[in-house]
Amino acid sequence: MVEYANSIDKPSIDALEKQYGLKVAVSMLQTSGISQRRMRYREIYIHSKMLLIDDTFISFGSANLNQRSMSVDSEINFATDDARHATDLRRRIFSQLSGGCFDGMIGTRHDISRTYKYWTEQMTNNLLAKHDSKAMMGFLLPLWDNRSSTMRLG
């Protein structure tokens, strides 16, 4: 399975933007705070998944989109096409992740484009703050993962 997964062509983030017009920001979540007179950082692990499409459809829960989650594991997801719930959820989560700074406003193309720009800047600023042992704003950091998809733990 790992060999097959590694053989699948996975376009780079640059290719996704150039070929398909997709803007991709991959982040991880961390929190920061003073403990014992030092700034400390801790990764936030969230098992749940959320899919939000244009403030019109949301799905969230614990299920992965794979055969195992859909047929063997005990997983649950909730989905709705109620735009009011989708917009409210997007605004709450965007605001929470950005430290209350940006919620994507009413969700126009311009609003979401500004949010994307803000988030990518905030991820960079948070990385610089972490390197300088300063508090981060919100929880967003650029994803850094040096593990290989071919590694298996015994």
Which tops the pLDDT comparison, 90 or 23?
90
Distance CA 66, CA 59 (A): 15
- 8-31 average pLDDT score: 85
Residue 61 is classified by DSSP as E
pLDDT range class, residue 24, cuts 50, 70, 90: confident
Residues in the chain: 154
Domain chopping of the chain, boundaries? 2-142
Res 38 pLDDT > 90: yes
Neighbour order of strands in the sheet with 49-53: 49-53, 57-61, 77-80
Given a contact cutoff of 8 angstroms between Cβ atoms, the answer to whether 39 and 46 are in contact is no
- Residue 70, pLDDT > 80, answer no
Is the pLDDT score of 131 beyond 90?
Answer: yes
Among 68-72, 98-102, 150-154, name the most confident range.
98-102
Question: Does the pLDDT of residue 50 top 80, yes or no?
Answer: yes
